[in-house]
């Protein structure tokens, strides 16, 4: 009985020791986080082999390979405090934006601009040193860097390179890329990677907007007249073109019909050769056919009673007398 009790106690004890040891000698870094481990306040680099200020075997200073201080997600070992201390940071992409700020273009035109920055911690050890691991402090630092970058970059470009209907003139992508390069360069030493710098909003001073409204009205009025006239012209052009084309088609068809008739008449010539054998008979037959054709429908005839065959009714002997 005693043996069993001892076993149970040992199991529970061992379990508690394991849990306690696990908690004391390990730490977890979650997805989206990065950590650094310090030994008596100094960053542990290269998995505890080197500390900052050492020289690495390849001759490089530890400062050149600071990324080794960053600890990726997973389970890691540590010594209990005060030997090791662990600092965990948010490595996810952050988005910072600030209020409208006035700046000037190359042609001294005042504009208001709002910029946003997408960034993340690239070197946790540096970030911790520069900003005490505080995202808000980093945000403040970025604000200054962005302001100076936007003033420098916007000042190099004309207003029509910021807004233009001409694609060749518009330099928006170039402007944003240049701002990103400048901010990235300035933020590198703070352990921050700049993912993107984008213009969120562009404005013009209030005094200018009134004039813009007047210009908008004048432009629209001019365009209204132009468009109305243009519409009429376009419509007339389309109709004239269609009429011309239609006439051409009809003329072509008529010419073709005439050509077909001509060919048919030419083909009839061989038959007319036969009619030459007795022109009087041919002529008589043609006339008879013509007469019959003319009086085919809806004709009213007014005839002399002597016209055959009516002469049979009035002068029955006349026809006989007329016979030789």
Residue 62 or 190: the one with the smaller Cβ distance to another protein is 190
Count residues binding another protein (CB under 8 A): 125
Interface with another protein in residues 32-61 (CB under 8 A): 32-33
Task: Say if CB 94 and CB 75 are below 8 A apart.
Answer: no
Least Cα distance to 315 among 306, 304, 303 occurs for 306
Stretch touching another protein by CB under 8 A, among 49-57, 137-145, 181-189, 244-252: 244-252
CB of 209 vs another protein, minimal distance in Å: 4
Question: Radius of gyration over alpha carbons of the chain, in Å?
Answer: 53
Give CA–CA dist 256/190, Å, rounded: 88
Q: Which long-range contacts (CB under 8 A, 24 or more apart) does 134-141 make?
A: 135/90, 135/94, 138/190, 138/192, 139/94, 139/96, 141/187, 141/190
Binding of residue 108 to another protein (CB under 8 A): no
State phi, psi for 161 to the nearest 5 degrees: -95, -10
Residue 106 or 288: the one with the smaller Cβ distance to another protein is 288
Binding of residue 265 to another protein (CB under 8 A): yes
Least Cα distance to 44 among 19, 69, 24 occurs for 69
Residue 152 or 229: the one with the smaller Cβ distance to another protein is 229
Count Cα neighbours of 246 within 13 Å in the Cβ-side half-sphere. 6
State the DSSP string of 174-193. HHHHHHHHHHHHHHHTTTEE
Binding of residue 140 to another protein (CB under 8 A): no
Residue 58 or 323: the one with the smaller Cβ distance to another protein is 323
Interface with another protein in residues 206-235 (CB under 8 A): 206-207, 209-210, 212-213, 215-217, 219-221, 223-224, 227-228, 230-232, 234-235
Interface with another protein in residues 279-318 (CB under 8 A): 280-282, 284-286, 288-289, 291-292, 294-305, 307-310, 314
CB of 265 vs another protein, minimal distance in Å: 7
CB of 185 vs another protein, minimal distance in Å: 18
Interface with another protein in residues 168-207 (CB under 8 A): 170, 172, 195-196, 198-207
Least Cα distance to 76 among 115, 28, 133, 141 occurs for 28
CB of 35 vs another protein, minimal distance in Å: 10
CB of 202 vs another protein, minimal distance in Å: 5
Residue 151 or 164: the one with the smaller Cβ distance to another protein is 164
Residue 152 or 222: the one with the smaller Cβ distance to another protein is 222
Cα separation of the two ends of the chain = 171
| Number of neighbours of residue 223 by Cβ within 10 angstroms | 11
CB of 52 vs another protein, minimal distance in Å: 25
Angle subtended at Cα 274 by Cα 270 and Cα 278, rounded to the nearest 5 degrees:
150
């Amino acid at each position: 009985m005693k043996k069993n009790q001892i076993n149970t106690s040992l199991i529970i004890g061992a379990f508690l020791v394991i849990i306690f040891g696990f908690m004391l000698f390990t730490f977890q870094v979650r997805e989206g986080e990065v950590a650094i481990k310090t030994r008596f306040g100094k960053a542990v680099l290269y998995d505890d082999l080197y500390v900052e200020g050492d020289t690495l075997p390849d001759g490089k200073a530890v400062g050149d390979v600071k990324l080794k201080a960053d600890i990726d997600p997973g389970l890691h070992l540590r010594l209990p405090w005060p030997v090791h201390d662990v600092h965990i940071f948010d490595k996810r992409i952050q988005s910072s934006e600030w209020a409208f700020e006035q700046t000037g273009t190359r042609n001294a035109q005042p504009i208001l601009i709002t910029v946003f920055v997408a960034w993340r911690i690239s070197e946790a050890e540096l970030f911790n040193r520069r900003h005490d691991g505080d995202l808000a402090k980093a945000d403040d630092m970025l604000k200054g860097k962005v302001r100076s970058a936007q003033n420098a970059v916007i000042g190099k470009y004309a207003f029509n390179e910021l807004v233009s209907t001409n694609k060749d003139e518009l330099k928006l992508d170039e402007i944003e890329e240049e701002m990103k390069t400048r901010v990235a360069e300035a933020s590198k030493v703070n352990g921050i990677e700049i993912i993107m710098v984008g213009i969120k909003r562009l404005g013009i001073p209030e005094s200018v907007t009134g004039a813009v409204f007047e210009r908008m009205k004048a432009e629209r009025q001019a365009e209204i007249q132009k468009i109305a006239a243009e519409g009429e012209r376009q419509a007339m052009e389309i109709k004239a073109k269609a009429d011309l084309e239609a006439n051409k088609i009809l003329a072509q068809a008529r010419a073709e019909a005439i050509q077909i008739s001509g060919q048919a008449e030419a083909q009839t010539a061989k038959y007319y050769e036969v009619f030459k054998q007795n022109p009087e008979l041919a002529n008589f037959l043609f006339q008879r056919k013509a007469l019959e054709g003319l009086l085919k429908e809806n004709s009213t005839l007014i005839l002399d009673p002597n016209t055959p065959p009516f002469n049979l009714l009035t002068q029955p002997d006349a026809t006989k007398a007329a016979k030789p």
